[in-house]
Structure 1
């Protein structure tokens, strides 16, 4: 007996999927912004000449990048309360994704920093700028322009990682889809629509990043 597609149950709950998608985007944006701040600090530490800065930064990046994000999600949500630190599920996931994105963005930013000619730093010092002024006014803006192409793929990957929040019942897109699936038994239809929403959102993110890249491109 053949399977007949019936999207009625999915369309009835489409607003639930959209609210889940909105939460997924919110989780991604907040976590990436926090992660970018962490990553920038860590990237400067990684390119520092001080071992006191390099070693902790390298340990952080190595440990986080070699742990599955799902393990981190479960550890923070279930294990930290046993140590006296209790966070709700959304804050738990934002903490994890921020730390996770920080480690990956640190490597992206580090590569960008290494691509900046040392002569720019020397020129900044020659005109009397402090190290902080050089990093904030010269190095960081140029670095961000250099890393935009790789930053785009990292941001898309981190957005997709928000689906793991379903493991601790955060009502994002994957959780919403799973709930509709369980209640309607329309497995194929539910996950087809959910997949389409993920793909469309990733295409939109990529388009926005390409637009930003073109706007910030240096004139040739």
Structure 2
């Protein structure tokens, strides 16, 4: 938590708070312990705000500058424009960084619209896992991502009744839930599920799946 505050990542900090409460609520434990842990996190959050921590300063600064999304909305406009250019299969994996003002301008004006450079911010990735799939892999890639997300969520729901078997099953289920929430929660404001993040997410998911198979619980 302290690292997230220092790093000033609002999305990561918010997801960390949500994830903490989710694990407390869903994982089996005594009610008294759940209340204590919830109180600790709540107090930590209140102190973070009260002492005007780095991350709170960033939120306040962005609010005053009328840039709450830190230019992400302008990056997302590029993703949507890329989807309009190549709606079926997208621009291709890792090709988002090659989109420039010239390509976007031509695309916008080809529809008889006026290109406004202030509406676009050109960076290396989409800052959104869903728009990243839509821009780089088109509607085909987007459908694959949504199907994967639903399948993972269904697995978590289906297996939830079985996690009381032992502490190991609880730990692996919790790890899988954590990877899911971070991937698709933080994915609304960042391009998760790539490189190191993807490796860690799939490790947690595979441990969960392997445990189910090993104990014949995957049926």
TM-score, structure 1 length as denominator?
Answer: 0.22
Larger RCO (CA within 8 A; separation ≥ 6): 1
When normalised by structure 2's length, the TM-score is 0.22
| Structure with the higher helix share, 1 or 2 | 1
